């Protein structure tokens, strides 16, 4: 069975980002794709030290051992792809998502492109503006990692402020339903 991980970069475990990820994973589940949602927001995730030890050791691990990143790298290697969701914070992803992107991408690259050929899709939620920046920030990981990026109409973005508001963005939700179906279709083709 194919498996897709969904990372929630919001500190709100049941907020708008969680809702949008659920819309996508529901569609995947309908197609028989297994999904696992992993909470990143609000967790202690340290920033990259820039030590380049991952390039020296090439052991699929980051030298920082006291957070969840190494466990996540193992899960990512075993998966068929991942959706990375973030609310827009000052026109970008949250700090946890940025630290996650930096460290998992660098370890992956140092280890012969660990995520090559896997599926990647960003999902971003904003109140008003900055969605494109956050969307691009996540996509940079997929592009550098030789992954297959899956899109939808209006770039997997939805709008809302307080937890639950995003459900009022009918067009955004429709785009995310489409994203789930598109990911399932690509998985079937590969």
Binding residues for ligand FMN, rule: CB under 6 A, are 10, 12, 15-17, 87-91, 125-130, 160-161, 163
Closest residue by Cα to residue 82 from 31, 16, 153, 148: 148
Least distance CB 19 / ligand FMN (angstroms): 8
Least distance from ligand FMN to the Cβ atom of residue 164, Å: 8
Closest CB to ligand FMN among 29 and 39?
Answer: 39
Of 151 and 163, the one with the shorter C-beta distance to ligand FMN is 163
Residue ranges of alpha helices (H) inside the chain are 16-30, 53-57, 69-78, 95-110, 131-144, 170-189
Provide, rounded to whole angstroms, the least separation between the CB of residue 142 and ligand FMN.
21
Q: List the one residue out of 134, 128, 139, 137 whose CA is nearest residue 166.
A: 128
Please report how close the Cβ of residue 178 comes to ligand FMN at its closest, in angstroms: 20
Q: At what angle do helices 69-78 and 95-110 cross, to 10 degrees?
A: 60
**CB neighbours of 50 closer than 8 A, spacing ≥ 6?**
none
Secondary structure (H, E, C), 47-97? CCCCCCHHHHHCCCCCCCCCCCHHHHHHHHHHCCEEEEEEECECCECCHHH
Q: How far is the CB of 2 from ligand FMN (least distance, A)?
A: 26
Nearer to ligand FMN, 20 or 111 (CB): 20
By beta-carbon proximity to ligand FMN, the closer residue of 114 and 125 is: 125
Residue nearest ligand FMN, CB atom distance: 15
Phi, psi of 112 (to 5 degrees): 60, 40
Is the Cβ of residue 35 or residue 94 nearer to ligand FMN in the bound state? 94
Task: Please give the structure tokens belonging to residue 14.
Answer: 């049941």
């Amino acid at each position: 069975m194919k498996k897709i991980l969904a990372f929630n970069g919001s500190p709100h475990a049941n907020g708008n980002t969680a809702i949008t990820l659920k819309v996508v994973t529901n569609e995947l589940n309908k197609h028989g794709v297994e999904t696992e949602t992993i909470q990143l927001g609000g967790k202690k995730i340290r920033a990259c030290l820039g030590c380049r030890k991952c390039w020296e050791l090439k052991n699929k691990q980051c030298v920082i051992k006291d957070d969840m990143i190494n466990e996540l790298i193992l899960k990512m290697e075993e998966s068929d792809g991942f959706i990375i969701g973030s609310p827009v914070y000052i026109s970008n992803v949250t700090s946890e998502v940025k630290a996650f992107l930096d460290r998992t991408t660098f370890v992956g690259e140092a280890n012969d492109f660990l995520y090559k050929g896997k599926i990647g899709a960003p999902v971003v939620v904003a109140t008003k503006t900055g969605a494109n920046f956050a969307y691009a920030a996540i996509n940079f990981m997929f592009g550098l990692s030789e992954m297959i990026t899956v899109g939808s109409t209006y770039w997997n973005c939805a709008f809302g402020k307080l937890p639950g508001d995003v459900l009022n963005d009918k067009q955004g939700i429709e785009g995310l339903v489409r994203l789930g179906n598109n990911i399932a279709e690509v998985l079937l083709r590969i």
